Amino acid sequence: MSKILVTGGAGFIGSHVTEELVARGHQVMVLDDLSGGFVENVVDGAEFVQGSINNVELVNVLFDTEQFDVVYHLAAYAAEGLSHFIKRFNYNNNLIGSVNLINAAVRNEVNCFVFTSSIAVYGASPQLPMTEATPPHPEDSYGIAKLAVEQELMACRQMFGLNYILFRPHNVYGERQNIGDKYRNVVGIFMNQILQGKPMTVFGDGTQQRAFSYIGDVAPILADAIEVPAAYNQIFNIGADQPYSVNELAEAVARAMGVAPHVAHLPARNEVQNAYSSHDKVRRVFGARKLTTLDEGLARMARWVRQHGARSSQMFENIEITKNFPQAWREEQFAALAH
Name which of 86, 125, 94, 253 is nearest 186 in CA terms.
253
More reliable by pLDDT, 8 or 318: 8
Q: What is the pLDDT of residue 270?
A: 87
Amino acid identity for residue 281 in this structure: K
Give strand pairing partners of 39. none
Amino acid identity for residue 296 in this structure: E
Sign of the dihedral through C-alpha 83, 87, 92, 98: positive
Name which of 145, 151, 152, 50 is nearest 101 in CA terms.
152
Per-residue model confidence as pLDDT tens digits over 54-105: 999 999 999 999 999 999 999 999 888 999 999 999 999 999 999 999 999 9
Q: What is the pLDDT of residue 310?
A: 86
C-alpha 128, offset from chain centre:
21
Residue 332 has pLDDT above 80, yes or no: no
Number of helical (H) and strand (E) elements in the chain, helices listed first: 12, 14
Going by pLDDT thresholds of 50, 70 and 90, the confidence category of residue 338 is very low
Residue 337 has pLDDT above 60, yes or no: no
CA–CA dist 298, 302 (Å, integer): 6
Q: What is the pLDDT of residue 235?
A: 98
Give strand pairing partners of 203. 266
Alpha helices (H) in 199-245, listed in sequence order:
215-224
Residue 143 has pLDDT above 50, yes or no: yes
Per-residue model confidence as pLDDT tens digits over 148-171: 999 999 999 999 999 999 999 999
More reliable by pLDDT, 61 or 270: 61
Q: Is the peptide bond before 129 cis (omega within 30 degrees of 0)?
A: yes
Residue 334 has pLDDT above 70, yes or no: no
What domains are defined for the chain?
A: 3-173+212-238 (3.40.50.720), 186-210+244-272+295-338 (3.90.25.10)
Name which of 118, 204, 172 is nearest 292 in CA terms.
172
Per-residue model confidence as pLDDT tens digits over 14-55: 999 999 999 999 999 999 999 989 999 999 999 999 999 999
Judge contact between 11 and 75, C-beta under 8 A: yes
Going by pLDDT thresholds of 50, 70 and 90, the confidence category of residue 335 is low
Across the chain, what does the average pLDDT equal?
A: 95
Judge contact between 15 and 21, C-beta under 8 A: no
**Percent of the chain with pLDDT strictly greater than 70:** 97
C-alpha 269, offset from chain centre:
21
Rg (CA), the chain: 19
Mean pLDDT, residues 290-294:
97
Residue 119 has pLDDT above 50, yes or no: yes
Q: What is the pLDDT of residue 314?
A: 65
Per-residue model confidence as pLDDT tens digits over 206-244: 999 999 999 999 999 999 999 999 999 999 999 999 999
Q: What is the pLDDT of residue 328?
A: 83
Residue 247 has pLDDT above 60, yes or no: yes
Give strand pairing partners of 213. 172
Judge contact between 70 and 111, C-beta under 8 A: yes
